[in-house]
Amino acid sequence: MSGEKFEKYEKELRRLEGVDVKVSGSSTVTIGHIIIRVSGSGRVSEEEIRISGSGRIVGSVRVDRVRASGSFSCDGDLEVDELRTSGSCSITGTVKGGSLRASGSCRIGQDLRVSIIQTSGSLSVGGNIIGEYIKISGSFRAEDVNVIDCEVYGSFKLKRVNCKKAFRAEMSGSCIVEEGIRAKDVDIRRAPEGKGEGFRVVLFNITLIEVGRGGIRKGGELKTKYIEAENTVYIENTECDIVKGRIVTIGPKCTIRKRLEYVESYNIDPTSKILGEVTKVEEISSTSEM
């Protein structure tokens, strides 16, 4: 986000100072340029927006906590220390804060800048992700992902991944990283059938969607341009141009189209193939964006 855009974002945020309204039924709370519509029950205060049923915020807002069960939307930017949703969540702008924990469908229109992200169901981010830890179970879409640790269990479509520590994936279905993956350690596997965490979406104590163990763990393959790791690389079911790592293990059903570079050792499963060269190097150099 540019400095000018961030400054504009900060100015547009409004804090719900001095507000504490309990909602039951269908209500509209207006604070300055912010409109909050709730159908069901909940509470609107400067510390917390809590909704059970359907809720919509019109405008950009800063609040300590948002907890929503049912349908929640925000037509603007949201700065929040803790965002918890169950059901459907849609935010058109940028989300900035401490943590996002979502069960069901969660869509962020622009950037997602929070420290901890844990979702089960689907997470779609129209912009980039900057944070510390991500754990996704289900489907995952975003542009650039820049975090410390990332775990994905399911399918994903991303532009680029940069992890300071580890990138781990158990793939089910088609997985795409348009550019490539960089991390200290990379571990990419096909999710075993009959295993996996699965997920459940519950609304008003009624289970709407339940995907049990093995329900979404069918197959899985990755297509990308490059995979780089400072330490170890382990991949399965992957088509990739270039793989680089200190210790590289090419597991089952992989195709490396151009080059494999290693520092200490490499192993290749009999079902995999390297169409280009294999080179021992002194250190891992960064692959240029292709």
Spatial CB neighbours of 11, under 8 Å, sequence gap ≥ 6: none
Please name every residue paired with 20 in a beta bridge, in sequence order, or none if there are none: 45
Query: Is residue 192 classed as helix, strand or coil in its secondary structure?
Result: coil
Q: What is the pLDDT of residues 85-120, one digit of tens each?
A: 999 999 999 999 999 999 999 999 999 999 999 999
The pLDDT confidence band at residue 201, using thresholds 50, 70 and 90, is: low
Alpha-carbon distance 195 to 104, whole Å?
A: 20
Spatial CB neighbours of 17, under 8 Å, sequence gap ≥ 6: 46
| Cα angle value 152/107/134 (rounded, 5°) | 30
Q: What is the pLDDT of residues 28-86, one digit of tens each?
A: 888 878 899 999 999 988 889 999 999 999 999 999 999 999 999 999 999 999 999 99
